[in-house]
Structure 1
């Protein structure tokens, strides 16, 4: 199967903007974050505003006091999640690129959240292994949005650093339908298919996945609960 085009659909984008205008409204800190990311040359792959609000609501619904994020970029999703934390809550976010991490730290500080967010720099798999060795956790919610080739390793680390009831969210799991192709040459698609296999076979996970359309085109996220 050929990877289908993931061109923007004007109707999808318009509905996203309608939802954003009616239910979210202007957000100075998040708008400044996107502007700072663009000025710093970061790729435009942040979650959409409606998806950021979804992350925020899921964290609140989970009653999360400790959040782990794998893949920081410029901190847009980090801010959405950190805003859901109660007093005394904390978020650890992992970023490979030092430049991205520096931009994210500035954005997080500008949003007034530096006191509850820690950005750790380096390969996430190494940082996660060190966290497990140090006995960190349990985390109440884990958001995975990093290199898709590492999805299964990040999932396993999330389970190890979680507890019964921990929510795990993985972004970009539909990839414009490319996940249907078992012979797809893209390692990101192969990593995503491996994630589905791992989650479906894991005895401690109850999960589903939701397709999404909007300003970020056709994709989706996987949602799992540790039993």
Structure 2
């Protein structure tokens, strides 16, 4: 099997199961010069279904880009829900706002612009209602910092998802010189060692290649 085969499967899934209603968002991102690092449509639908399964009403996203995954999450929380999404690049945030408003979910989404490591302490100090789901898809070297921050903003039963942790299989190599690979191993080992979390990693293939995500549940005293 090759990347071309995986992409063919993705296309079939989009045509038969996922739908391609948000293709304009991806086109707008490309036209604005944003990097093509959005989640794939099947992955976006998967995030939506996870949020729906959790009956999530509050979602925190770290890494907005052009708002493609944000749109899926905003649909999942419903009209009474909220997504708070953190984006470092002002241009990306501007594109995302246009995309979210066009998709009809803009009123459910708060975009906070700036470095997430600056925004997260401010958010924590506000003592918001806990988030049901946290999706982390930003600069990979800070993934462990983002998970630690997420633990302060969630509750038992909340889910934390970290995207792009398999790195084309790089995480199997402890001696890797790739900073993103080292960061992925660090966050996986953090989840393994953190008594407040129980998690796993699922490998994925598709049009975007070979990667995977970490999935962790926040535990309570009775777990």
Q: How far does the alpha carbon of each residue in 1:21-76 deviate from its partner, in whole angstroms, 9 at most, with x for none?
A: 1112231xx11111110110000000000000000000000110000000000000
State the partner residue of 2:62: 70
State the partner residue of 1:90: 82
Would you say how many aligned residue pairs link Structure 1 and Structure 2? 219
Q: Which has the higher contact order (CA 8 A, sep 6+)?
A: 1
Deviation at 1:87, TM superposition (A): 2.8
Unmatched 5+ stretches in structure 1: 1-7
2:197 to 183, 205, 215: 205
Runs of 4+ in 1 over 4 A off after TM superposition: none
RMSD, matched Cα = 1.2
Deviation at 1:86, TM superposition (A): 2.5
Unmatched 5+ stretches in structure 2: none
State the partner residue of 2:207: 215
Q: Which has the higher strand share?
A: 2
2:50 to 46, 53, 58: 58
Greater shift in the superposed pair: 60-69 or 8-17: 8-17
Q: Does 1:15 align with 2:9?
A: yes
- SS of alignment partner, residue 167 of structure 1: strand
Q: How far does the alpha carbon of each residue in 1:157-176 deviate from its partner, in whole angstroms, 9 at most, with x for none?
A: 11110000001111001000
1:130 to 122, 125, 131: 122
State the partner residue of 1:4: none
- SS of alignment partner, residue 73 of structure 1: coil
Name the TM-score, length of structure 2 as normaliser: 0.96
